Structure 1
Amino acid sequence: MLAGELYVADCPELAADRARVSAWMERYNDSASAPPETQRAMLEEALGRVGVGVTVRPPFHCDYGYNILLGDGVFLNFNCVILDVARVEIGSGSQIGPGVQILTADHPRDPKQRARLLEFGRPVTIGANVWIGGGAIILPGATIGDDAIVGAGSVVTRDVPAGATVAGNPARLLRGANA
């Protein structure tokens, strides 16, 4: 799965991992009024890396948790979904708006493979100091460069250069890094 190879998501090991994180999400998503240090400890239980000063406002949803790496000062607003069948790295100082979906899970284009419940994942990398507007969707395999801006409601289907501003469906370059 982590190597981007085809896998069956319902294998016993992955099913157990999803059950573990589902129980964690239930606890975390009930923690809105908990002190920040309690929420941080809970994030450290489930996520692969949690930098200093990270805020993840519940509710939050993910597939496994352990493939999510958050740099210092990362902020995820309400209702973020990260399907982390592959690595998701979010750089320091990045701000993710409400309802953003970061998706690494993908499916074969061959209907016979899909019928066998095969899927695969492609990692997503979000650089430092990136701002992703509410309701944006980041598709599998996308890399968003440092200091980029993704407009609200955008669907990012390909890489976004550092310093660029993109918006729309599919997201298109509005302003380049040197504009």
Structure 2
Amino acid sequence: MGLPLMMMLGLGPTVARLKLRRCEAVGATPTVWGRVWIHGGGEIQIGDRVVFDARMAPIELHAQRGGRIVIEDDVTIEGGSSIEAQSLVSLGARSRLGMWCKLMDNMYHPVRGNRHERPQSVPLLVEEGVTVGSRSILLPGAHLQKGASVASGTVISRRIPPGVTVGGSPARVLRREVAR
């Protein structure tokens, strides 16, 4: 059965719920195009009207035991994106992740010292209305405040103020929203 036929028959949300069945909670009318891989023993919460557009490449949600992924209402996640949580990764309402984005709250090995010890996880927070460009990487401790925008290919590991557009690696301010 093709995608247009499923939509005409009203099966879209039913199929989406089936694909998201390993999530702790799924809100009203989710949309899933393509594959969403859900791994780990942690908790994944999906809000209302969330869109997973994985037609080009699968989307991965991996919440390890004790970890949480929270995706609020009206979020869009495009194909190839991967979200990994050992403590908390939160995507605010009306946020958008471009293709091939990587979000993780742990680096899995320290930069200095014993590389066999896993470092402490630091929550990764994306507030409402944030746009993250394709192939961007959000590292532990990243906090994108309301309305921030991230250019494609940017690496972020710190707080980004509201209404600011950042780009590059390391991230630098490209544009500030003008107050009216």
TM-score by length of 2: 0.72
Q: Deviations over 1:65-94 (max 9, x none)?
A: 761111110000001111111211101111
Does the CA contact (< 8 Å) of 1:139 and 1:155 recur in 2?
yes
Distance 2:106 2:61 in 1: 11
Give runs of ≥4 in structure 1 deviating > 4 Å.
none
Per the alignment, residue 121 of structure 1 pairs with: 121
Aligned mates of 2:129, 2:62 — CA distance in 1: 25
Q: Which runs of 5+ in 2 are unaligned?
A: 1-6, 24-42
Structure 1 residue matching 2:79: 3-state secondary structure = coil
Say if 2:44 and 2:63, in contact at 8 Å, map to a contact too. no
Structure 1 residue 178 corresponds to structure 2 residue 165: no
- Deviation at 1:44? 5.4
Q: Residue 110 of structure 1: CA displacement?
A: 4.0
| 1:74-113 → structure 2 map (5 Å cutoff) | 74-106=75-107, 107-112=109-114
1:54 to 50, 63, 66: 50
* TM value normalised by structure 1: 0.72
Shift of 1:50: 1.1
Of stretches 92-101 and 38-47 in structure 1, the one that deviates more from structure 2 is 38-47
Distance in 2 separating the partners of 1:111 and 1:40? 44
Question: How many residue pairs align between the two structures?
Answer: 145
Task: Report the Cα offset of residue 40 of structure 1.
Answer: 3.5
Alignment match, 1:45: 22
Q: Distance in 1 between matches of 2:47 and 2:118?
A: 33
Distance of 2:152 and 2:174 partners within structure 1: 13
- Which structure ranks higher in relative contact order (CA pairs < 8 Å, sequence separation ≥ 6)? 1
Partner of 1:165: helix, strand, or coil? strand
Higher helix content, 1 or 2 = 1
Identify the structure with the greater strand proportion: 2
Task: Look up the match of 1:20.
Answer: none
**Equivalent residue, structure 1, for 2:4:** none
CA contact (8 A) 1:147 1:164 kept: yes
* Contact preservation (8 Å) 2:96, 2:132: yes
Q: Does 1:147 align with 2:131?
A: no
Match for residue 63 of structure 2?
64
- Which deviations, in whole Å up to 9, do the C-alpha atoms of 1:38-66 show, x marking residues without a partner? 22353353253211100122311133276
Could you tell me which residue of structure 2 aligns to residue 138 of structure 1? 138
Amino acid at match of 1:111: G
Letter in 2 for 1:78: G
1:166 aligned partner: 166
